[in-house]
Each structure stands twice: as C-alpha cells, then as structure tokens.
Structure 1
Amino acid sequence: MGEGLHVDEPRVLMVDDEKQVADAYALRLQDVADVTVAYGGEEALAIVAEGRPPDVVLLDRHMPRLSGDEVLDELRERDLTTRVIMVTAIDPDLGIVEMPFDDYLSKPVDRADLYAAVDKQCQVLAYELLGEYFRRESTRAVLAADATTATDADERLAAIEADLETAEARVRDLLPEAESLLSTFDGIDREGY
C-alpha cells in the first residue's frame, strides 16, 4: 500500500491549467497513486471520457475557457462514480454551499494533507461501491433463483453481472478488507426468495 494511504495505487486525475502547479501535485502523489495530469478542463473531460473513471479528481477552480466549477458540473452530469476534491487558491465563500464537490482544499496543500484527502475520498468511494455491489448482488441472486425467468430477464441478469464484476474489481482495488466483506455477503442464504 502507498505510504500514508490505505489503498494501493488509486487512480487520480490532477486538473490545473498552471503546468508547474499540476506537475508539482502529481509529483507529490506519484509514489502512492496512478496519477494522470490534465492542464485544463477540456483535457480533463476528454481523459475521463476515454476510459475508466478516476477514483479521485483533484480540480482547480480558476481555469480559462472551462472553469473547475464547470468541469465539476459536467462530471456530476455524467454520473461518474468518482470523488472530486477542489484544490484551489480561491478562498471558499457561501457560493460553494451548492457545489457538488466532496472536499475542498486551499492551496498550497502539503503532502500529508494531500495524502489524507485522497485517502479519505478513496475510502468513501470504496464503501459507496461496496453498497452498490451489495444492491446489485441481491438483485442478481433473486433473478438467478427465479426458475421462471424470461429471456429479457436473462439480458438484465447479464448486465447486472457485468456491473458486479466492475464494481467488485474497483472495491478490491480500493479497500484492503474487501475480501472478507465480499465473502461474508456471498455467504448469505438467498434461496427463500
């Protein structure tokens, strides 16, 4: 596991239009996280659209063309399972009350605080994903136990099973105790449905 982190190599997207600042924060995290850097909002959204969502996005608010606030709104509209930490020199005011970020750090942020914020958000994400996994697994177990399942239910079951695999992989990546939690849940008898 990464020094100071409970998770091993979380996927972090660092977004800041100031190249030196973005690179400095990425350098602080490089030994404990899989860090991708975007030097603007458009680039960040393109990176997110390309593949698996990052576990944590570190997002500057004040950027030209597409502000961090706009990037945050777009990330939430995409309904990604990711945590967003605003890392900015803009002092917080009452306007942040309605913003859907998960944490807010004022620059400059030292290494220990950066580690702590990323670690906390990864743990929160892991438990959110674990809850989603449990919900989907319960649904899958009920559908699988029903012998009268129709063909359209088979397709839904296949989709649920694919979602389960994705959620389980991310939980295992983020949560060291995932194995015991998942095996305990799998041991519940569901034949009574």
Structure 2
Amino acid sequence: MSEQPPLVLVVEDEADLADLYAAWLGDEYRVRTAYGGHEALETLDELDDEVDAILLDRRMPGLSGDEVLSAVRERGIDCRVAMVTAVEPDFDILAMGFDDYLVKPVSSDTLRETVESLLQRSEYDAGVQDLFSLTSKKAMLEAEKSPSELADNQEYQELTARIERLRTDVDRSLEAVTEDDDFEGLFREFDTEE
C-alpha cells in the first residue's frame, strides 16, 4: 500500500478562490477546503491531526484567520501554516505563529512552491523551523516597511537579534556535525533548545 500524499487545508471565505487554490494543488496533494474560520476548525476536528499544511486567509467574516491560527496553535495541531491574504503585513505579524505569509494575488506557481516549502520545513527540527519562520517574517516586513520604520521598531530589532542567535546556533551545530558526523546529536541539541 502506497503512502498517501500530504493533506493541505485551504481556508478561504471566497469559495471561487478556495476552489481555484484546491484545483492548483489537487494534482500533487490531497486538498480539503473550508469556506470560513468556523468551518476550518470543524474540518480540523474531523481530520484529527491529519493536516500537513494550511493555507489560511487572514480576513474572513465570523472567525478571522488570526483567530483560526491561534486555535490551531492552542490545540497543538502540528502542521505548517501560510497566511494567504490581501492584508498587508504590519509589525503585528511578529507575534503570530505562522510559517509563511503571501499577499494576494498569488500565482499557481507561488502557491505550489509555498506548499512544497512548508512540507519540507516539517522535516526539519524545531530550531530550523523557527529560523525559517522568523526569516520569512523579517523579509516580509523589510519588503513592506521603510528602513526608518524598521529601525524605530523594538520588536523588529528583537526579531533580528533572535534570528542572528538562531543562525549562530545552527552554524555551530552544523560544524559539530561535520566534525563528528553526529547527526543524532544535532537533532537532540535543537530539541532541547528554546
């Protein structure tokens, strides 16, 4: 019996857009759609931790994407999440637990590449996943904010410092692996770090 393809949940209140995303991804992945926040949580309950990635609209009536994301993380659902939204990012994204952020409109290639990247990240340990998530947020803010806005924002400065610490830890761990060929030690080290 062959292993099933990864399951992607598309959460989008515009049904035509959700269905379009599902069509773009349907050849490579199992795809479920939810046409709003409440339906997304019901679908997640049905799937019982089977979801590998979520593409999540941020602004939806009833239950916003931000609220759905909080619920996903509070429930301990172990999947990667990309916000796919028309909402331009602001510094509030720094506190959000997503892995990537796309501003609509998005192309089919961009959507497929994002899902592929999210699924690859799932294979990495927590430290490397955190580094990817933080650098994605940093890049998005740098694309949307002026250098003076970035320089004046304390949260952005803390983000930059945290990324540098994580990069140093990753580099140090990789050096130890190449010196000792201790791959198990690399993953143990990341699993014990914050």
User: Structure 2 length normalisation: TM-score?
Assistant: 0.61
The residue type paired with residue 53 of structure 1 is: E
1:79 paired residue among 55, 76, 79: 76
Kindly tell me the number of residue pairs found equivalent between the two proteins. 126
Counterpart-to-counterpart distance in 2, 1:16 and 1:68: 9
* Structure 2 residue runs without a partner (length 5+): 129-182, 185-194
Matching of residue 52 in structure 1 with residue 46 in structure 2: no
The residue type paired with residue 12 of structure 1 is: V
Q: What SS class does the counterpart of residue 126 from structure 1 fall into? A: coil
> Once superposed, what is the RMSD of the aligned Cα atoms?
2.1
Q: Aligned residues: percent identity?
A: 48
Q: What SS class does the counterpart of residue 124 from structure 2 fall into? A: helix
* Pairs within 5 Å for 1:84-99: 84-99=81-96
Q: Is the 8 A contact 2:11 2:36 kept in 1?
A: yes
Find the counterpart in structure 1 of residue 28 from structure 2: 32
Counterpart-to-counterpart distance in 1, 2:28 and 2:4: 7
Structure number with higher relative contact order (C-alpha < 8 Å, ≥ 6 residues apart) = 1
Q: What SS class does the counterpart of residue 12 from structure 1 fall into? A: strand
Matching of residue 127 in structure 1 with residue 124 in structure 2: yes
1:86-141 CA distances to partner (integer Å, 9 max, x unpaired)? 00011111111111110000111111111111111101112349x9xxxxxxxxxx
* Structure 1 residue runs without a partner (length 5+): 1-6, 132-183, 186-193
1:154-189 CA distances to partner (integer Å, 9 max, x unpaired)? xxxxxxxxxxxxxxxxxxxxxxxxxxxxxx97xxxx
Find the counterpart in structure 2 of residue 15 from structure 1: 11
Find the counterpart in structure 1 of residue 59 from structure 2: 62
Counterpart-to-counterpart distance in 2, 1:81 and 1:15: 17
Where has structure 1 moved over 3 Å in runs of 4 or more?
A: none
**1:123/1:8 CA distance change after superposition, 3 Å:** farther
Q: What SS class does the counterpart of residue 17 from structure 1 fall into? A: coil
Matching of residue 101 in structure 1 with residue 98 in structure 2: yes
The residue type paired with residue 88 of structure 1 is: T
Q: Is the 8 A contact 2:49 2:77 kept in 1?
A: no
Q: Is the 8 A contact 2:12 2:56 kept in 1?
A: yes
Larger Rg: 1
Shift of 1:58: 0.2
Counterpart-to-counterpart distance in 2, 1:90 and 1:70: 15
The residue type paired with residue 106 of structure 1 is: V
Shift of 1:24: 0.8
Counterpart-to-counterpart distance in 2, 1:103 and 1:112: 15
Shift of 1:8: 7.2
Q: What SS class does the counterpart of residue 122 from structure 2 fall into? A: helix
